Structure 1
């Protein structure tokens, strides 16, 4: 899947792509999307653990999604480095429209056809609109990957920590490995995980995925 080609004229940019800490809605499998949910107590603990493990690493800039579960996580990290946390709407989670705020079981019951299309990875299938207009997965992919590449290009040769959401991490993983958008997601996307990429000549490459050694064993995957 091609992404926007933004050239880097120096050494590759290092991108630490981090999923926000846990929220109460993560724990109960309630779909958040663009609904602005704060970290729960476990998520705050995870953010502190992230901050501690990254304190000794070089980080030149921290940028977060403008949803509070992401920027709360980012602020914990940035505090160790004396950095501000600009908020980037392009790093938001996918907008799920009328699915947002519902448990997965409730979505299946209320919107059986749309739920089936979502689970079947029909990437251009429309979801019902709610308070906000839903994005198709293809629209979301281009928005999320475009934001990551653009942010990386603004910090050539530097180390950038981006704190975002499970769907954004999935998009970056697919872009870096050239995976089709239609293939099932067979890789974990875990709360408060660290995922390392490089960006060179507008192309993302994956260096490591799913670092969770700073957390205990019962962290949550996006789909579990």
Structure 2
């Protein structure tokens, strides 16, 4: 059945950064886009330029905000930042690769790899807390725009949470879906929650897409 009051969402992951290439955990660290990421952001904006988008919301971290600004320029509206769309806070893990984390804290690395909902690195967020924060933020933003279309520009971990919410996939289930840089993902929001419409559209990027492999599920939350 149609949902006339549903909010239509374009959910976009930020463009590539140097730390994505190095598989280094970014979390709340403010790492900028690299040249490829800026190109990806422009291509994403051009792909959505003909869409009627009523509002754009972005994480306040620069890699997402710069990506969102490319979309805002393409459609001619302002970008609003919301810290609730930030990547998961990874505390002591931030700035390190998974191999470095595994060498320093093997027990913590195992809990992270197994997606223990109650685990959070020292100074960081638990997986369960992160998921609740993302879904609550996205719900609040979507509820502001019944019957309209909005864009949210965020991070790999944020997209992972929204995919799980829309697909009713358990938080501990291994990830089998892609979280490509500057990918365009489509959801609906109704009174019953989020609904998956389309995922991981990267046609606008041709072959220049950095994605996280299944091994990247260990590090994908930090994108």
Q: TM-score range by the shorter chain?
A: over 0.9
8 Å CA contact retained: 1:13, 1:155: yes
Equivalent in the alignment of 2:183: 193
TM-score (norm 1): 0.92
Trace 1:206-217 onto structure 2 (pairs within 5 A). 206-217=196-207
Runs of 4 or more, structure 1, over 2 Å off, are none
Equivalent in the alignment of 2:84: 90
Equivalent in the alignment of 2:19: 25
CA distance in 1, matches of 2:59, 2:37: 16
2:11 is paired with a residue whose SS is strand
Equivalent in the alignment of 1:42: 36
CA distance in 2, matches of 1:198, 1:207: 7
Equivalent in the alignment of 1:117: 111
Equivalent in the alignment of 1:52: 46
CA distance in 2, matches of 1:167, 1:29: 14
Equivalent in the alignment of 1:65: 59
Deviation at 1:218, TM superposition (A): 3.9
In the TM superposition, what whole-angstrom CA distance separates every residue of 1:37-66 from its partner, at most 9, and x where no partner exists? 110000000001001111111111111000
CA distance in 2, matches of 1:65, 1:10: 28
TM-score (norm 2): 0.92
Equivalent in the alignment of 1:141: 131
Equivalent in the alignment of 2:5: 11
Higher percent of residues as helix: 2
CA distance in 2, matches of 1:191, 1:94: 17
8 Å CA contact retained: 1:149, 1:202: no
Equivalent in the alignment of 2:211: 221
8 Å CA contact retained: 2:112, 2:119: yes
After TM superposition, the structure 1 stretch with the greater mean CA deviation from structure 2, 143-152 or 77-86, is: 77-86
Quote the RMSD (CA, aligned, Å): 1.2
